[in-house]
Structure 1
């Protein structure tokens, strides 16, 4: 089969091909989801930064989670809304590789943040007396730096390994953005090195992270079940509810997407597309909602911020009227 050189490679992103010309009807719902994700996570970031009482390890980690959610949303927003809103579905190889790099990097960072949050809950429940001495703000800052460096370095070789390929003429991507496993299937070459390194990268990030999260919650569960009084037991476990939801929202679609890409050759083409959209859109939308509802301190501070702003607006109107 004839190939297309790297310099002239232009990919066409199909989006949801089963909808045909009706894809335009998804433009507004997708825009609303992105708006909710960006507004919700930005609000959490601003509230945590503004309120000194929230500048503790648990909430700093939550701000890291919001930052990665915002980053993932901004990485995919141009191509997703470009396809569904403006019917612009083409992307050059260099732009595709850039999007691929940042998308996989921020996803790896989010996975690392979820591990750090699990360890935070583990220490808070299993060793509460030493919590403030073990998890200081400086320790959390170092943890965040390690998470960022790990994500940046592990994903770094992937664009260069992909760029060396010559791609076939039918350059149609299954998704609304560039995923590594979706791009390399179009290469007119042996992609075993990419597949192997991609698998290693996944194992070193999301694979190890999921294992540490399972171990952490196993230890948390053992400690909670050892508490004799019912109320403290319920209270201890309820502090983990938000994080458990965030973990499930992140890992279940991710695992499903990986399984479909590797073993679902006979599955409907629509399945991986929908799972990929759920994997990238649902966590950034739902995470701030869950934490705002379930975390009393966050909810109160958000209401306080918006309440103070409303009062200032009313005061300004009163002053204007008096003048």
Structure 2
């Protein structure tokens, strides 16, 4: 029988597991590692808990905090399997399976199949984790400030609550607390309508399991794959794109960023630098906006999900108007 921790703040909606553990540990003047040891586990990298926590650890944590196991699981990226990720374990064919089933900007089959070792959708490599946070969320909370699970992966450009850019901070998860005392803390930067719309949909997918698109509502898993497909198409090489590459260049021109975010040899989105990931997300938001406003027509089969509903309204009491004087008007 586990011993209950008498003091434990409630988790915040969307919070990462290690963020919650850090806030609990703060009440006892301890570290996250100390709490993990108290449950009978030893984890070399606490951040791994945000990806997938061992089931027995979740049970032990639930007993010590009287928090439901599903609530704790939802604080890990593994909870989003198979929506955000197909699976937690890397597989050789995972990249092609995730990014080649759909087509938006380019015709289906234009991009060649690729094998990417140790690839998992949206999850950076060990050296590629970049930590960003919302300045307003941080300044409106009391240290230790909660850290959103969605801030851990390159899914969002902005905070879905305050609609300002997520800003990078130095140090591990949670060290955005220093913005409270740092004279150089970032000022909130509002984002445009295209980014705001895209991020709101991603937040819908993460929190409700579905996304409202112009023509119909789609499952969260489809939204994540649509977005990842767009990023892959925007990063496709000139040889892969062929003639339809003019469409991806049109998108990049509208963003003001270099084509393919300036990358040379092809690399998957998860392995790009923080700056190139952010520029690629901006390009994806721009592409969606161009499709929704009919400023661009694309040959991909799934491009139609972004098109607005056709206007089929008609005044039944009015006759059709024509400039042809010989037309019959019945």
Q: Tell me the TM-score normalised to structure 1 length.
A: 0.25
- Report which structure shows greater RCO (CA 8 Å, sep ≥6): 1
Q: Tell me the TM-score normalised to structure 2 length.
A: 0.24
**Greater helix share, structure number:** 1
